Amino acid sequence: MVDIKTYERVKADMKFLKLLSNNFCNIAKASTEIINLEAILNLPKGTEHFLTDIHGEYEAFNHVLRNASGVIKIKINEIFGQTITPKEKNELCTLIYYPEKKLDIVRREVEDINCWYKKTLFQLIEVCRIVSSKYTRSKVRKSLPKDFSYIIQEMLHESESSLNKYDYVNGILDSIISTRRAEDFISALSNVIQRLIIDRLHIVGDIYDRGPGAHIIMDTLEKYHSFDVQWGNHDILWMGAGSGSEACIANVIRISMRYCNLETLEDGYGINMLPLATFAMEFYGDDECKQFYPKIDNDNLCKEKTLKLIAKMHKAISIIQFKIEYEIIERRKEFDMDNRKLLDKIDFERGVVAIDGEDYVLNDKNFPTMNVEKPWELSIEEVELLEKLKFSFVNSEKLHRHIRRLYTNGSIYLVRNSNLLYHASIPLNSDASFKDVEILGEKYHGKKLLDKIDNLAHDAYFCDEKDDNKKYAVDFMWYLWCGKDSPLFDKSKMATFERYFIDEKRTHKEIKGHYYSLRSNEEVCCKIMDEFGITRSCRSHIINGHVPVRANLGEQPVRANGKMLVIDGGFSKAYQSETGIAGYTLTSNSYGLQLTQHEPFESTQKAIEEGCDIISTRRVLEFNDKRIRVRDTDKGLELIEQKEELEKLLIAYRMGLIKEKTI
């Protein structure tokens, strides 16, 4: 019997239930799906992997992605224990990380290759069997390569230890080897293990800038099975450049010159730098541009002549950037950035600039493209150059494919499984109240501010060129990069001009917003989570990056009694001298939450040839006595809702409100 309230709920949902009946046309199909959903709800939660501030360091990113921050090595230790040597474990790990390249080495070094194939296949099947055990057969099946799907399924669900199946399993392996498909099968199994070891990847901002391989990282993510991005200030800068913002374009190029990184611009996205090089040689050919000499690391083998040219290009685009930014500040008074209008404060005769009422001597007084009367105006040559650069950005097919991927898989923040993910900050007042930020005449704070920013970011890229909303949104993308109330920046100023042209270090100081001093307070973190609708519990956290944690100075990534996790530890080589390490990553599985601290990654070549994994230190932040199930996650809530709707459909069928259909 059905009670009256249930009957009324079913009647109220009849329109939806009739649509649902198209997919589940009778009691048998609806019942089967309910059983399937209940089974999934009782599976262990999939592993989530958190990274941030990658900054173009493709090799380190790729390795951490392949080894799942050490999770694969832990699994191999658990599975094989003392039955194989530490060296054999390392060899097996390397094979899983880089199967094709490792097989090239094995083929040259191993004498009895068929014996090695068979032993390795047994080991890989066992690893694959364990990592796939937390998923439904259907999900595992969808993860398998078509060529080997049937065989892998047979191997995963049959044990060679069973007397009845011993010959069966061995026969399959012998056939794989005899038909010369062993290496293909090993590669397929290794890739399946990598695919299943991580259920969801979260990148908490800043894929771009500094390092040389942001475009390669984006290529990798395009093929990755499940990921999301919480935009960082450097990502927004590239998204703004793709939206046509000349200020963002100038900043993107300037940073690329600053770190001697032309790979992403030229090789990755086909941005033509020849017009800038020609312009720089014409106007800055005799200028040493000492303040603009690029920052290089030991891996960068640029010739001195190239470095000198990049320095000239660096200065040329910087001057253009300052002029464009002056114009934005002038037309967008609501940005309240008049303190960044410095070009009209230059006294060219005395060689000084006035900042906050005090004169500072310029360390570089050569401004060949500036009109002394109106230094903020672009010269005719600069306008022509800017048009060419903008054309390259707007018409780069690969750049726009990657930007669209950032929009499709990204957002300004994410709430997932009791965790709040955002790149940098939530603007706060000194008393820890949420700071009001005015946008288009209205004030926003907290969650509403981030939602508004998310909308504007979409308007900047997707609105029609003639739409006034687009024009404002494109300017706002630049504000998000360097505006004092931007949650992606949240500092008093971006002192780019001062760092280039003034020697006094005190002018370089960028005062952080109140958020950065208050985020170590547990109650403040809980207040922020309340704002985003997160129920307070031992499993609720804020996860962000943006400001590198200086581990060498004793700074800690875990703050506010575990509520705040700051996982920017220097993935970028440019920061490693400051942090003393090479980044943090988080993994969250059905047993709890683990933080991994990484040492600098040597190279992919050493990882393959010598089995040199990233040296990592793991720290268990939380351990659950009871394993977290899918029903305890956000995905579980969705499945429970689906199950409830199907249960209503069953009632509708059984009461004759909807007629069953036969196939």
Tell how strand 352-355 and strand 346-347 pair up: antiparallel
Distance between CA atoms of residues 90 and 70, nearest Å: 11
Q: Which of 523, 617, 532, 19 is nearest to 230 (CA)?
A: 532
Which pTM does this prediction carry?
A: 0.92
The Cα-based distances of 159 to 148, 166, 196 in angstroms read 18, 8, 20
User: Residues near 289 by Cβ (< 8 Å), separated by ≥ 6?
Assistant: 308, 311, 312, 314, 315, 364
User: Residues near 633 by Cβ (< 8 Å), separated by ≥ 6?
Assistant: 45, 417
Q: Which of 496, 413, 409, 477 is nearest to 439 (CA)?
A: 477
Share of the chain above pLDDT 90, in %: 70
Exposure letters 441-473 (e unless 16+ CB within 10 A, then b): eeebbbbebbebbeebbebbbebeeeeeebbbb
Q: 15: part of which helix (H) or strand (E)?
A: helix 14-20
Amino acid 19: pLDDT: 92
Distance between CA atoms of residues 343 and 347, nearest Å: 9
Exposure letters 478-493 (e unless 16+ CB within 10 A, then b): bbbbbbbbbbbbbbeb
Amino acid 515: pLDDT: 97
Conformational region of residue 210, where left means phi above 0, alpha means psi within -120 to 50, and beta covers everything else:
left
Amino acid 160: pLDDT: 52
3-state SS of 297-327 is CCCCCCCHHHHHHHHHHHHHHHHHHHHHHHH
Amino acid 300: pLDDT: 58
Conformational region of residue 263, where left means phi above 0, alpha means psi within -120 to 50, and beta covers everything else:
alpha
- Tokens (6 digits) for 68: 């799942």
Amino acid 581: pLDDT: 77
Amino acid 139: pLDDT: 86
The residues pairing with 3 across neighbouring beta strands, listed in sequence order, are none
Distance between CA atoms of residues 625 and 435, nearest Å: 40
Surface-to-core class of residue 248, CB atoms within 10 Å of its CB (0-12 exposed, 13-18 middle, 19+ buried): buried
**pLDDT tens digit string along 168-209?**
778 888 898 999 999 999 999 999 999 999 999 999 999 999
3-state secondary structure of 432: coil
The residues pairing with 587 across neighbouring beta strands, listed in sequence order, are 49, 594
Helix orientation angle between 246-258 and 380-394, rounded to the nearest 10 degrees: 90
Q: Where are the beta strands (DSSP E) in 572-615?
A: 584-589, 592-598
Amino acid 1: pLDDT: 60
DSSP state of 451: H
Amino acid 289: pLDDT: 95
Tell how strand 584-589 and strand 48-51 pair up: antiparallel
Q: Where are the beta strands (DSSP E) in 154-256?
A: 200-203, 227-230
Radius of gyration of the chain (CA): 29
The Cα-based distances of 505 to 163, 482, 508 in angstroms read 76, 20, 5
Give per-10-residue mean pLDDT for the chain (663 aa): 74 88 92 93 93 92 89 91 89 93 91 92 91 86 86 74 67 89 92 93 95 94 95 97 97 95 94 97 95 77 85 97 97 94 95 94 96 95 97 96 97 96 97 96 97 97 89 97 96 96 95 95 96 90 90 88 88 76 87 86 77 75 87 94 93 89 78
Q: How far apart are the first and last CA of the chain?
A: 28
CA atoms 540, 541, 542, 544: torsion sign: negative
Distance between CA atoms of residues 440 and 334, nearest Å: 8
Conformational region of residue 180, where left means phi above 0, alpha means psi within -120 to 50, and beta covers everything else:
left
